[in-house]
Amino acid sequence: EKFMPFVTELDFATGKLNPEGHVITRNLSHMKDMYYDQEAVRQLLGQNPLIYVVYNVVVPETAAHIQHCVTILYPGKVGNEYFMTKGHYHEVLDRAEIYFCLKGKGQLLMQTQDGAFASIDMVPGSVAYVAPEWAHRTVNTGDEPFVFFAAYPGDAGHNYGDIETEGFAKLSVEQNGEAVLVDNPRYGK
Ligand code: 6PG
Ligand code: NI
């Protein structure tokens, strides 16, 4: 049977999709061990801020299809570390991805299993290519929601476990009002 073409509307003002599709919400409690300043985590957990929401268009998870979704990453910090996504490798490691920034500003942090690291600054209009085999995490370095559209092969899947254990090589932190990348003291420990 034929899979029928269809359309999803993206609201440029908010980033929301209509229909919403499969919605994933991540509060601090869902990723508390990922932030460096655990004292700041403890202080914020009472209010448990919403960090990001992903609206996923639902399509079959096969290589023939293209997953696509929007992430709305809210502004804020845990200590001096900016709000960020969990970050992941694709479960099928060599599946690439395209990120298209619609609103706000942020960083796209990437790393490979053999120790390479890269970062790309994202502003509205930036179209970033996450090459095959690179783990990816986004960070909101601005003071409004950072919104980006993503598309990737249908069979890619997500591997969060490796990032949960190893972390990212760099942390994105505010220093003197500016976003800087610093070595993650816990990386490789
Ligand atoms: C994906 C995309 C992207 C990502 C979200 C949330 O593969 O689906 O990279 O949609 O999932 O921005 O980030 P985390 O999946 O790392 O929580
Ligand atoms: Ni991805």
* Mean per-residue pLDDT, 86-114: 98
- Single pTM value for the model: 0.97
CA angle 177, 142, 31 (to 5 degrees): 100
Query: How far does residue 150's CA lie from ligand 2's centre (Å)?
Result: 8
Q: Average pLDDT over the chain, rounded to whole?
A: 97
Would you state the pLDDT for residue 118? 98
* Mean per-residue pLDDT, 74-99: 98
Query: How far does residue 58's CA lie from ligand 1's centre (Å)?
Result: 14
Test site for ligand 1: of 23, 32, 88, 168, most ligand atoms within 8 A of the Cβ:
88
DSSP letters, 84-102, are B---BB-SSTT--EEEEEE
Residues 102/15, Cβ–Cβ less than 8 Å: yes
Q: What percent of the chain has pLDDT over 70?
A: 100
Q: What is the pLDDT of residues 7-39, one digit of tens each?
A: 999 999 999 999 999 999 999 999 999 999 999
Asked whether the predicted pLDDT for residue 111 surpasses 80, the reply is: yes
Asked whether the predicted pLDDT for residue 74 surpasses 90, the reply is: yes
Residue 178: pLDDT band (50, 70, 90) is very high
Residues 82/55, Cβ–Cβ less than 8 Å: no
Sketch out the chain's domains with CATH numbers: 9-183 (2.60.120.10)
Residue 180: pLDDT band (50, 70, 90) is very high
Query: How far does residue 43's CA lie from ligand 2's centre (Å)?
Result: 30
95 ligand 1 Cβ < 6 A: no
Residues 137/109, Cβ–Cβ less than 8 Å: yes
Distance CA 161, CA 167 (A): 10
Would you state the pLDDT for residue 1? 84
87 ligand 1 Cβ < 6 A: yes
DSSP letters, 104-171, are S-EEEEEE-TTS-EEEEEE-TT-EEEE-TT-EEEEEE-SSS-EEEEEEEETT---B-HHHHHH--SEE
Query: How far does residue 70's CA lie from ligand 2's centre (Å)?
Result: 11
Asked whether the predicted pLDDT for residue 188 surpasses 90, the reply is: no
Residues 98/171, Cβ–Cβ less than 8 Å: no
Residues 154/68, Cβ–Cβ less than 8 Å: no
